[in-house]
Amino acid sequence: MSSRERYTRMFPVSWEQLHRDSKALAWRLSEMPDIRGVVAVTRGGMFPAAVIARELDIRVIDTISVVSYDWQDQSAEPRVVKPLAIESDGEGLIVVDDLVDSGQTLRHVRKLLPKARFATVYAKPAGRPAVDVFITEVSQDTWILQPWDSEHQFVQPIAKLRNGEGE
């Protein structure tokens, strides 16, 4: 399935919104006992993990890099390209990513860290079973445009586009 067929909606997220949503996730996680460390799934989980670690006053932070897609193509099998620096079965760890789409990345990490808890800022229906806690659910056909993947730029007014000006 092409990305045009798969993603028919766009959900742009600003840095401010991502910060607020990450902080809301930290509030939910603060109710969980015995969180001693944060694992960010790179790259998307790095910003939310930093906010969560700050809010929960956690100093043990690690990353795991799992590649399972290239932009909008999610056909690849997940593979770890940077493992954890610490050895763990996941007990006392919260694994953080920006979003869960199909769930294949987090299911792969869960095999490596079976006792960890998993949290994402955004979740899609197909991926929800792979995550323990999330803040916002979006439809499966929505592309979440994160702030690191976009920039502000001038856009022509609709009236000018309709008149064929400024394309």
What is the DSSP secondary-structure string of 95-147? EEEEEESSSHHHHHHHHH-TT-EEEEEEE-TTTGGG-SEEEEE--TTEEEE-G
User: Residue 55 and residue 87: Cα distance in Å, rounded?
Assistant: 25
Catalytic residue among 57, 62, 89, 98: 98
19 or 86, which is more confident: 19
Using an 8 Å Cβ cutoff, are 149 and 12 in contact? no
Do β-strands 133-137 and 9-12 pair in parallel, antiparallel, or remain unpaired? unpaired
Cβ neighbours of residue 112 closer than 8 Å, sequence gap 6 or more: 64, 80, 84, 90
Catalytic residue among 73, 101, 132, 149: 101
Residues 24-41 have pLDDT tens digits of: 999 999 999 999 999 999
Q: What is the pLDDT of residue 19?
A: 98
Q: Tell me the residue type at 99.
A: L
Mean pLDDT over each residue of the chain, to the nearest integer: 91
Q: What is the pLDDT of residue 69?
A: 66
Residue 62 known to be catalytic: no
User: Mean pLDDT lowest for which of 1-5, 11-15, 25-29, 115-119?
Assistant: 1-5
Do β-strands 93-100 and 37-42 pair in parallel, antiparallel, or remain unpaired? parallel
Residue 89 known to be catalytic: no
pTM metric for this prediction: 0.86
Which residues share a beta bridge with 119? 96, 133
Which two structure tokens, joined as six digits, stand for 5? 């067929």
Structural domains present in the chain: 3-162 (3.40.50.2020)
Residues 53-105 have pLDDT tens digits of: 999 999 999 999 998 766 555 557 889 999 999 889 999 999 999 999 999 99
Q: What is the pLDDT of residue 104?
A: 94
Angle, vertex CA 67, rays to CA 4 and CA 8, nearest 5: 15
